[in-house]
Amino acid sequence: MSKFSKERTLVIVKPDGVQRSLIGEIIGRFEKVGLKLVGLKITVPTEDHVEKHYTLDPSWRQVTGEKTIESYRKNGKTPPSEDPQEITAVILENLKKYLTSGPSIVMVWQGAHSVGLVRKIVGGTEPLSSDVGTIRGDYVMDSYEMSDTDDRAIRNLIHASGSVDEANNEINHWFSGDELVDYRLVGEQILYDVNLDGILE
């Protein structure tokens, strides 16, 4: 089996995705591209667990704050603060409320380029501007304008790890080793085998 087939990524169907009955649709998208589900649970995390999830990367507060300030400016708007950490503190509070509001589905998907592939299928952070054909682009219409006006987190249905390192840290945060299953999918032969031996009789 190709060494590429081992890459893993964490995906969360957030509470709005569960309430919108999109679990099956979302799982189907990842199955159809050829990824393998190796971990799955339904859970209502604590606020502390949510905060740790977002701050596993120590630079997340600064980077997210800077990104948000920049996106306000790009849209000709004045950011609520010039301090990235202050901006992120508000975003994090809203994310804690959002992700503890009901059950989420937490999954680990495995396969070649799974991190980038899942991000491509999920689409950009803001549903309003994410591409047509992506999950966020096709199944929800929330915007920063609307969520900021109502002082809440943007409802974008899904979380997906942003890099292989982030994925490894997030998988360890949500799953213990014995909750993940190593197994073979028969369909993997057509995706990864070099010679495709054993098909013709």
Instruction: Establish whether 113 is a catalytic residue.
Output: no
CA 147, CA 144: separation in Å to the nearest integer? 5
Strand 8-13, strand 104-110: pairing: antiparallel
CA 69, CA 61: separation in Å to the nearest integer? 12
Residue 34 binds to Mg ion (criterion: CB under 5 A): no
Nearer to ligand GDP, 115 or 153 (CB): 153
If you count DSSP H runs as helices and E runs as strands, how many of each does the chain have, helices first? 10, 4
Residue 162 binds to Mg ion (criterion: CB under 5 A): yes
Nearer to ligand GDP, 1 or 52 (CB): 52
Q: How many CB atoms lie within 10 A of CB 44?
A: 12
Active-site entry in 53, 113, 159, 173: 159
CA 142, CA 154: separation in Å to the nearest integer? 7
Report the site for ligand GDP in 124-143 (rule: CB under 6 A): 125
Question: Site for ligand GDP (CB under 6 A): how many residues?
Answer: 15
From the list 21-29, 77-85, 133-141, 157-165, the region that binds Mg ion by CB under 5 A is 157-165
- For ligand GDP, the binding residue among 30, 139, 144, 174 (CB under 6 A) is 144
CA 132, CA 180: separation in Å to the nearest integer? 32
What is the set of active-site residues? 159
In the complex, which residues of this chain contact ligand GDP (CB under 6 A)? Answer: 64, 67-68, 71, 91, 95, 125, 144, 147-148, 153-154, 156, 159, 162
